[in-house]
Structure 1
Amino acid sequence: MLGQKNPPVDRGQATAIIVFILGLGALLPWNFFVTASLYFKERLAVNVAVNMTLNMVVNGTHAGHTKDYNFDSWMAFLSMLPLLLFTLLNSFLYQWVRERVRVAFSMVAILLLFSLTAALVRVQMEPDTFFSITMATIWFINTFSAVLQGSLFGMVGLLPSRYSTLFMSGQGLAGIFAAVAMLISVLSNADGINAALGYFITPCVAMVAILACYTLLPHLEFARFYLNRDETDKQPIEKMPIKSRDKTVLKNSEDPKDPEAPVLQDYKLPEKHTHNQPRLSVFAVFKKIWVMAACITCIFGVTLAVFPVITVKVQTSYRGYTRWDKVFTCVCCFIMFNSMDLVGRSVPSLVQWPRKESRLFPVVVVSRVLFIPLLMMCNIPDSKLGTIFSHDFAFVVIMALFAFSNGYFASLCMAYAPQLVRSRDCETAGALMTFFLALGLSLGASISFLFGYLV
């Protein structure tokens, strides 16, 4: 009965590296557009000023008020709405469209949209036209990003749980890339056009490399063993702790002292006739993972409620140092957040606390709401709430804990959810978790308008 081979070794950690890179690619579009906000607003302002000057010269009209496109609000709305809608649709889309088609098509589409954005850097056009094209690009790039994230989360859910942590870590690295790009642009002496062109060419090159990595993944023996679940389910193997695996598997395994021996700690024998059972419905899967779904919504809801709408308003207490004042927000807000978020996403590969069955887990997640008043009482000029934490060090410590907890608990949620269902339902669980992640982002972005008004 147990004549199947043992799981192969991830030689050279090739699968782990590719999963990490795919995580980076999943959040690359969002991060690069968010950090380019200043470029888009400056370009719209320049184009409006030029048009108003031309009207004065040609038509003899006088300059009125500069048109306010409310770029940040529209960008947030047109980013979160498609992300929310298409992560939900992706829960059903996977049943009709193969995962490889969804992922490859989404990556190519994102690459083309980034290329369009880079090409438009040197194209002069009416501000209304530029605004419309940019908003359409943001809508579509987040649409494909939603499909890409849901598909990749479902695929990674088929691998051992540590690969979900690696995937989340890769997403954290995408934020660091964007933050470092922002810092370079702030300190660079290059003109705005060349800086913007180089900025948008970077994700184009990155998406080509990420697509190449995804194409390579099915050719790796370790990845192929776990991803071909429809075939391997016929050979009764699934995930479970090592203490419960069958003695016959131990007898047929390699020497456990051999560092190259297969790791069987995520391996188990399934229930009888599991491979003959149909996949559960989306609602049935949700009933099994609803606690993790609620937690991931809360985590990102709290985070987006104050980041970046509140955190970017915090100013340094060392106002006399011009250079530090210039990079304070970039370093202490964006780079600090993304760096500690990445650390938080990586720690679950070493320590996982609380456990998924623990009632303490949702309690700790909800307690993150305390970061909202803490950040709102940092050094924000003319704040209606007053300032309690005026020193830069206090803000840095709060931001570090805020970001670390975001990455850590989000990574745990995404790793725990697939463990609560059968292997054949992991893709559905991953797609649902991505939807609730997007729901948290949308709720947080909506609430941020209220907190922004309060300060």
Structure 2
Amino acid sequence: MTLDTKGRNEGITYPVVKCLVGKMEHSVNTTPLLGDDHDSDDEQFQHEFNTDDNKPLFKPLEPRDKFNTAYLIFCLLGIVSLLPWNFYVTADDYWMYKFRNVSKNESMVGSSTSGRTPLQAEFTSYLSLASSVPNLVFLVLTTAISHRVSLNVRVVGSLFVMLLLMLVTLVFIQVDTDKWQQTFFGVTLISIILLNVCSAIFSGSLFGAVGKFSPKYITAVIGGQALGGVFAALAQIASLSIGASSTHSALVYFIIGNLTIAISIFLYIMLEKSLFFKYYIADHAVINELLTNSLPMNYSYRTILKKMWCYGLSIFVTFAVSLAVYPGVTVLIDSEGKGHGNRWNDVYFVPTIAYLLFSTGDYLGRILAGKVLKPRNITVLVILSCARFIFIPLLMLCNAQPRHLAVVFDRDYQYILILFLFAVSNGYLANIATIMVPKAVDQHEKEIASSIMTIFMGFGLTLGSTVSLFMVRLL
């Protein structure tokens, strides 16, 4: 049988309720109240029953995550949540080919001696803006409708549409767009907007759901997002190493992306059918209402916001600073040895350093945050997030091309060190804020609080992407 209260508890089946009261028989004191010990005092009575107005009478029997299956699936879903962004932004070689100066018959930007065209130089910044704005809008909408549309519809539906849009990208790889680059530029941005609408619905739903799990699973999703950048960079490097043309390399690259989304759909369907997932995703407040006839819990967005807005501010500042220069500026930073015929400097430097190194550092920062969980003081956390502003001028003074400003850090190792510290701090501070939020609110508020955090993140991404356009032009 299925328990359903106001549409909030689809999927809460009898085994889940059974888990919640599984130890009831062994927890209840069966000593007769009117037996020989009827004169026992109130303190002994309280001790026997161990009652507390703020805690449930019976401790639930929690199902186990066998072989860490749920953890691994959450990690994959974290990868997929940012897959459109990571795959589009990392395919730098492909976009440079599509928007090259066709009048000079240049096959890729690496062979050009005249610098990037305006479309080549500004595409990444426009991509960031086209990603962040719809992402923000639909993160807000997803939070608003989270209790009106079922979790499975939001997750599976958004993944299917995401897959279809990525298939459209595969088709355009084989289409000659040289004579209509401006139109292709617009069509690409529209595709990116739609992809990020799906990504926002999926991400908001995923974070809302995982907020009900232990911090281990929150770290799995957060870590998966960082691993998504690593995965995309490795896929790009692998496709370039084939030695084929830019279009054939892009074909291999985006096929990998499509297969990843398809696999994630299958694995999520398996996960949502598991007892472990149903136990945690269940609205425990409503189950308690069904078992005890108590009043249902009310959700107040204002109350939740008051409890967690400082953590939201921290993640907003963290991502605003990051997106102000990454990847809009960092993708333009060339190796000191570029133009001398070395494939490392001309072909592999940008995907390896600008994407793979950043994503690796971001992932390490998130994993470290999950183990250390410091600082716990929210004021210190906000101050550290604001201190990352120093990375904006540092990266602007690296060897980004084309430029009007003087280059201060012209050595590759200087840029690599700055970028790595920039990446680690991004992942560390973002994960600390995300993990601490569910601890700052009540159990029944965790899903909404985690979803609100994605909105703060969306605001940060939008502001950073907007600033990125000006940073590129300031160069």
Bucket of the pairwise TM-score, normalised by the shorter protein: 0.7 to 0.9
- The structure-2 alpha-carbon separation of the partners of 1:275 and 1:34, relative to structure 1 and needing over 3 Å to count, comes to farther
> What is the one-letter code of the residue matched to 2:326?
F
> Is the Cα–Cα contact under 8 Å of residues 158 and 423 in structure 1 kept in the other structure?
yes
Matched, 1:122 2:174: yes
Larger Rg: 2
> What is the one-letter code of the residue matched to 1:75?
L
Residue 299 of structure 2 aligns to a residue in which SS?
coil
> What is the one-letter code of the residue matched to 1:220?
S
| Counterpart in the other structure of 1:58 | none
| Counterpart in the other structure of 2:62 | 7
**Stretches (4+) displaced over 6 A:** 46-50
Determine the C-alpha separation between the residues in 1 that align with 2:154 and 2:402.
Answer: 48
| Counterpart in the other structure of 2:422 | 402
| Counterpart in the other structure of 1:63 | none
Matched, 1:43 2:63: no
Matched, 1:315 2:331: no
Matched, 1:196 2:250: yes
Alignment map for 1:24-35 (pairs within 5 Å): 24-35=79-90
| Counterpart in the other structure of 2:278 | 224
| Pairwise CA distance, 1:149 | 0.4
Residue 355 of structure 2 aligns to a residue in which SS?
helix
Matched, 1:291 2:314: no
> Is the Cα–Cα contact under 8 Å of residues 310 and 451 in structure 1 kept in the other structure?
yes
| Pairwise CA distance, 1:6 | 2.9
Determine the C-alpha separation between the residues in 1 that align with 2:183 and 2:103.
Answer: 11
| Pairwise CA distance, 1:282 | 2.3
Residue 398 of structure 2 aligns to a residue in which SS?
coil
| Pairwise CA distance, 1:380 | 4.2
> Is the Cα–Cα contact under 8 Å of residues 165 and 412 in structure 1 kept in the other structure?
no
Residue 372 of structure 2 aligns to a residue in which SS?
coil
> What is the one-letter code of the residue matched to 1:347?
L
Alignment map for 1:174-185 (pairs within 5 Å): 174-185=228-239
With structure 2 as the length reference, what TM-score do the two structures score?
Answer: 0.78
- The structure-2 alpha-carbon separation of the partners of 1:290 and 1:325, relative to structure 1 and needing over 3 Å to count, comes to same
| Pairwise CA distance, 1:129 | 5.1
Residue 373 of structure 2 aligns to a residue in which SS?
coil
> What is the one-letter code of the residue matched to 1:297?
F
Comparing 222-231 and 434-443, the one that deviates more: 222-231
CA deviations 1:149-168 (Å, max 9, x no partner) are 00000000000112111111
> What is the one-letter code of the residue matched to 2:273?
H
| Counterpart in the other structure of 2:446 | 426
Determine the C-alpha separation between the residues in 2 that align with 1:107 and 1:288.
Answer: 32
> Is the Cα–Cα contact under 8 Å of residues 99 and 119 in structure 2 kept in the other structure?
no
CA deviations 1:201-238 (Å, max 9, x no partner) are 1111101111111111123333222111246751899x
- The structure-2 alpha-carbon separation of the partners of 1:187 and 1:359, relative to structure 1 and needing over 3 Å to count, comes to same
CA deviations 1:314-347 (Å, max 9, x no partner) are 3333455723312222222211101111111111
> Is the Cα–Cα contact under 8 Å of residues 316 and 460 in structure 2 kept in the other structure?
yes
With structure 1 as the length reference, what TM-score do the two structures score?
Answer: 0.81
**RMSD across aligned C-alpha pairs, in angstroms?**
2.8
Determine the C-alpha separation between the residues in 1 that align with 2:103 and 2:154.
Answer: 39
Alignment map for 1:230-309 (pairs within 5 Å): 230=284, 234=288, 276-309=295-328
| Counterpart in the other structure of 1:108 | 160
| Pairwise CA distance, 1:37 | 4.5
> What is the one-letter code of the residue matched to 2:86?
N
Matched, 1:345 2:366: yes
Residue 328 of structure 2 aligns to a residue in which SS?
coil
CA deviations 1:244-271 (Å, max 9, x no partner) are xxxxxxxxxxxxxxxxxxxxxxxxxxxx
Alignment map for 1:361-372 (pairs within 5 Å): 361-372=381-392
